[in-house]
Chains A and B, each alone.
Chain A
Amino acid sequence: MAKIDDRKTKIQATKLRKVFKERRHEVVAVEDLDIDIKEGEFSVIVGPSGCGKSTFLYMIAGFEKITDGELLLDGEPVLKPGRNRGFVFQEFALYPWKTVKGNIRMPLEIGGGISEEKIDAKVQEYINLVGLEGFENAYPHTLSGGMKQRVGLARALVYDPDILLLDEPFGSLDAQTRKIMQQELTRIWQEVTSHGEKKTVVFITHSVIEAVYLADRVFVMSARPGHIKAIIDVPIPRPRSYTGDEFIQIRQEVLNHLEEEVLKAAELYKGELSAE
């Protein structure tokens, strides 16, 4: 594997800023955010609650417009959502009126230009990839959280985007399922490539263990207004375990950076409460 710094830049933000204008006041969600995410990199962003992690991911996805600064994918400014990106939501955001197969088919049907047989084959391939064989015709409400998120993953991957964006995808799963899904995501990320390259992943989480388990690099975001406060390399070879000196040491390092920010965020929150 090439060293991170030698690789091509995939996602680049410079002095990125996002302001939400409410009726009476403004919320600066993201300010002075600089980041450089490499092609094929598994990047994980951690940060205190409300620091603007989702907002940042939504801007990469093109769901939210940037207020100021620059946000480039492959050197091009992000203008709107598009098929070079896939998105996985914490709340799954599956279509309840579509079956597992129907949900995963949807991007292919929308893309058009492929025969029904090819669509079917592709859908089956991704159903197998995420381990949902036998549940093709189930409706989402009959699935467990872990299985729902498998559908979410397959739906985001099936049209072969270069970039995979995940906003706390395992945040609502129980601890056991969560570990399984972390292993599964690692396996899938290693299996699935576009043009011979691994997908560029931006993964958001609250869990430091999850971050260190998954990431090539962990980005710690500051309390609001969010920017990148620290970058921690995780040079542990995969498959990883949750133990080992190196793992624990890196985890501690991330925790130290994060704790400061969590405290700041708490202060900020208190300040806002008393100001009201």
Chain B
Amino acid sequence: MKKDSNIENTVEPSKEVIKDTSANGNGSRLLDGLNSAPKYFLNVGKTLLPFLVIFIFFEVLLVILHATIPDLSHNLYPIPHNIIVYTWKAFFPGKDSAANSVFIQVGWSFVRVLLGFVIGTLSGLIIGILMGLSKWLHRLLNPIFSLAISIPTLAWVPILLIIFGLNTKTIIVTIVLSCFFPIVYSTTNGIRSIDRKLIWAARIMGASNLEIFFDVLLPGSLVSVITGLRLAIGYSWRAIVGAEMLVALTDNIGIGYYIVGGQIANQIPQVIIGIFLIALGGLLLDATLMRPLELVTIRRWGMIEKSKQ
């Protein structure tokens, strides 16, 4: 009898939710559904509004410009709605066109990013874990990595160009570097900052070093590692554009090349489309890789605040 009455009055959140909906009954839930659809569009609308404002602003500005200066180049000073028309052509150039579809350009960049990301992350995780586990290794390598992490990845490119030449290898190694350093840093710190009491709790139940590694250190460092992965994806997506721009002269493919190509061909619409695709690509990588990973791990475990985002 003691047990039941003594439990504190906290209810599992999920249970509360279940209770609420059942109390509302079917009818009102249906109404909820109807109500939430307009809300959704309202939210999307709120997000898109600023873009629309900018679009209209430049539309008006450029129409006026072109009206007052008749010789103004439409390629260098495109009217926004023409860019939209151009976008269609960029994606679907047609069979007779010599140009690659921008799909292929972006696709290539994605492949390079993923390849570099996988290599850089795996090697970063290994080094990071070793540095997290060994005080000695940490003392030895930490000064080097602390310095390296503040170097913009593109600063390495001249050296890479000398080693690997003007080709895809250089681009991929650039991506590898842009992932490697943040991952090493976040993994090392993630492991080193785990509450020692979590380790003690495992020790007293007789856990071996291996069990502590897999049961405590790995999951315990995940918050930090995921932050590192996020940084790595962001950095690598940035670095790919830079690297492709630098290597563009010989390697005629990739989103970076596409942008430089636009500049060389005096096609500003192409540049603007490239910029938009970079932004979308970054969002997409985050939404398809990082968000789901975060949702099933650290968010579910309450290791980061749900309200933060």
Answer yes or no: A1 CB below 8 A from chain B CBs.
no
Answer yes or no: B198 CB below 8 A from chain A CBs.
yes
Cβ-defined partner of B205 (8 Å) among A97, A106, A138, A144: A106
Across-interface contacts of B197 in A (CB, < 8 A): 89, 91, 93
Answer yes or no: A240 CB below 8 A from chain B CBs.
no
Chain B facing A: main interface SS: helix
- Among A197-212, those with CB < 8 Å from B are none
Across-interface contacts of A95 in B (CB, < 8 A): 198, 201, 215-216, 219-220
CB atoms of A110 and B198 under 8 A apart: no
Across-interface contacts of A62 in B (CB, < 8 A): 203-204
Which of chain B's residues has its CB closest to A137's CB?
A: B12
Query: Which of A26-34, A42-50, A176-184 lies at the binding interface?
Result: A176-184
> In whole Å, how far is A179's beta carbon from the nearest beta carbon of chain B?
10
> In whole Å, how far is A96's beta carbon from the nearest beta carbon of chain B?
4
Cβ-defined partner of A83 (8 Å) among B2, B206, B220, B297: B206
Number of chain B residues close to chain A: CB under 8 A: 33
Cβ-defined partner of B8 (8 Å) among A97, A146, A187: A146
CB atoms of B206 and A89 under 8 A apart: no
Answer yes or no: A247 CB below 8 A from chain B CBs.
no
Across-interface contacts of A86 in B (CB, < 8 A): 204
CB atoms of B12 and A96 under 8 A apart: no
Contact indicator per residue, chain B 197-222, by CB within 8 Å of chain A (1) or not (0): 11011111111000100011001101
Contact indicator per residue, chain B 1-44, by CB within 8 Å of chain A (1) or not (0): 01110111110111000000000000000000000000000000
Binding site for A on B (CB under 8 A): 2-4, 6-10, 12-14, 195, 197-198, 200-207, 211, 215-216, 219-220, 222, 297, 300-303
Q: Can you name 12 A-B residue pairings with CB atoms under 8 Å?
A: A80-B203, A87-B201, A93-B195, A93-B201, A95-B215, A95-B216, A97-B303, A141-B302, A142-B13, A147-B8, A155-B201, A180-B8
